[in-house]
Each structure stands twice: as C-alpha cells, then as structure tokens.
Structure 1
Amino acid sequence: MESWYLVVCKPKQEERAKTNLQNQGIEAFYPKLTTERLVKGRRTVKQTALFPNYLFICLESKNGNFSAVKNTRGIGGFVSYGASYQLVPELIISQLKNERLHTIESKIPKMGDVMCVNNDSFSNIQAIYKEPDGDMRSILLINLLNQKIEVSIDNKDIAN
C-alpha cells in the first residue's frame, strides 16, 4: 500500500529534489503559490513553494526505497514523529493537488486606493490610484486647485 510522506528539502531546492525523485520513479509533489508584487517599480509575478523546504512523496509503506530518498540531491531527510516517518493523509494531498493556489499579494494597489507620492515634483502628496501605465508607471489622480488631475508617476515614487 502506498502512502504519502513529508520530507525536508535543502533551502530553495524543492524543484531540484522533486526532479531527482521523479527521475528515480518516485512520485513527488509540492504546491506552488503565485504572487504578484512591485519589485524596483516593476510588476513581477513569481511562483514560490506554498510550504518552503517541504516536499510530499509517495512510497510503498513496507517495500519503499526510503534510503534512496534520503540520499537524493536536494533532500535533507524525512520529517519524523517519534520513531516513525510523518504520514500525510491522502485527502490533504488530493485537496492540495486540486486547488488552484493562485493568490495575489496585496502589495499591488487597486483602483481607488489612497497613495502617497514622493518625488521631485510632489513631496508627500496624497493621490488616488487609477490604473497601471505600463510596467514601470501608474496613473494617479491628484487634487490640484480643487480639480482631480491625472498624472503618470514612476511606481518607485508611490507608497500605500
């Protein structure tokens, strides 16, 4: 009977460990999380492990090649509970595999958010976020002389 086990990977080597295990014919899995954020004023989308440094593997409970898993590049070892390796219920694995874990971080402003602008032209001026203007800039509404004026500003010059 096959069971799912939890293993610890070396830092940032989940994908390497997964590939090496799959090359040995061992089913391996780790859920990924997609995040979107502003980095140096640019919108970037990045996939990271939902559980950093952990990997789920499927092995035969009695005849599984546990020593091969422990000696695989990228693997640190099994997570154990007392003297036995940590089992993961099939229900949890199936839910993690079926879920589309795409969450967008709240660092990206949304229409109507109040922002603070701080650059050469405007110093600590409050503005309302309207929309992105390419990858590096955003369009904001600034209140000048009791009128809302659209201004395109570098993303690095605005903050929540």
Structure 2
Amino acid sequence: MSEKAKWYVVHTYSGHENKVKANIEKIVENRGMDDIILEVAVPTEDVTEIKNGKRKTKSRKIFPGYVLVKMFMTDESWYVVRNTRGVTGFVGPGSKPIPLTEDEVRKMGIEKHRVVHVEFKKGDVIQVVYGPFQNFSGAIEEIHPEKQTVKVRIEMFGRETPVELEFDQIEKL
C-alpha cells in the first residue's frame, strides 16, 4: 500500500455516532486491522453557554449522523465498516465511497491536535481572581490541560477543601 490512507465519511443512525465509533474500533482491535483502519473520529466542538450567571461548556457534534474513518480502502475494510451496527453507508454515489480531499480535511481540522501550554505546575500557590472563590488562595494539586482546569486545595471555614477551577480563574502568587 504505497498510497496514503484517506478519510471517508460514514453515515450513521442519528445519535449512534459514538456507538459506531466504539464498534468500529473494537472490530479493528479484534481482527488486527489497525494497519488498514487507522483512526475513527466523531468531530465535536466545545460550546460555552451562560445560564443563570453560570458558564457551562458542552461538547456538540459538528456533523450529527456522521463518523469519519481514516483508512486504506480495501474490500475487507469496506465490508467491516459498512456492516458495523448503526452504519447506514458510506457517503458517495451508490456503494462507491468518496474520500475527503486534503483541503476538506484541513478545513475541518480533523487532524489538528490542540496543544495547551500550561504556565502552572503542581505545588504552585495561586490566588483565585474571579468566581465564587475569589480572593482565596491555595496550592495546585492536579492539572488537567485537556479540560483547562486545575484542582486546588483552598482553606474554607478552617479546613482544606479541594476545588476545581479553570485556568482563567487563577493567577500565580
């Protein structure tokens, strides 16, 4: 296989995207096909809503009813994906799947991996600059760069309490 693996769009029953992704990944693992079917993705975006003064970040599917699969198109890979429970078919005319172009993949940001730079480290003493714990200070216990949050122990009512805070709520002391 000298050519590159390509991204294909698979149509699924609405609301079954994550199940289809898990099913394909399980079949790939069980059949040892990880050299043919490389990656399965359900593109999502984080949407922040503010209700009653509280910020809530939800993950929303960008393409409901679709799953993206990066694979080498062979009879076996086509069969495996096409016959996965919850899949209604590939996107393309008839039974001929059409791969996404490099430009489409780039515009969709499928292969873009977000890098988060954290200026804090475990043990740093910080001050809360806004939110319900404003003006409290404490030491960082855990850092979660993917969620952009930290777990901090602050002293409240004479006892230490662990609190999860967002990066933009705190600053180093």
Which TM-score band applies after superposition, normalised by the shorter structure? Answer: 0.5 to 0.7
Matches within 5 A, 1:25-64: 25=28, 26=37, 27-39=39-51, 42-64=54-76
Is residue 2:7 matched to residue 1:4? yes
Pick aligned residue for 1:98 from 112, 126, 129: 112
Q: Distance in 2 between matches of 1:71 and 1:40?
A: 46
Contact 1:31 1:96 in 2 (8 A): yes
Aligned equivalent of 2:92: 80
Q: CA 1:83–1:72 in structure 2 vs 1: closer, same or farther (change >3 Å)? A: closer
Q: Distance in 2 between matches of 1:83 and 1:24?
A: 21
Bigger share in strand: 1
Is residue 2:25 matched to residue 1:22? yes
C-alpha displacement at 1:14, in angstroms? Answer: 1.5
Quote the sequence identity (%): 25
Q: Secondary structure at the match of 2:10?
A: strand
C-alpha displacement at 1:63, in angstroms? Answer: 3.7
C-alpha displacement at 1:74, in angstroms? Answer: 2.7
Structure showing greater radius of gyration is 1
Normalised to the residue count of structure 1, the TM-score between the two structures is 0.52
Q: Distance in 2 between matches of 1:50 and 1:17?
A: 16
Q: Distance in 2 between matches of 1:41 and 1:28?
A: 37
Q: Secondary structure at the match of 1:7?
A: strand
Q: CA 1:71–1:61 in structure 2 vs 1: closer, same or farther (change >3 Å)? A: closer
Unaligned runs of 5+ in 1: 101-131, 135-160
Q: CA 1:78–1:53 in structure 2 vs 1: closer, same or farther (change >3 Å)? A: same
Amino acid at match of 1:22: E
Q: Secondary structure at the match of 1:19?
A: helix
Alignment: residue pair count: 103
Q: Distance in 1 between matches of 2:76 and 2:69?
A: 11
Amino acid at match of 1:36: T
Structure with higher RCO (Cα < 8 A, 6+ apart): 1
Q: Distance in 1 between matches of 2:79 and 2:90?
A: 10
Q: Distance in 1 between matches of 2:75 and 2:82?
A: 15
Q: Distance in 1 between matches of 2:26 and 2:102?
A: 23
Unaligned runs of 5+ in 2: 29-36, 115-129, 133-173
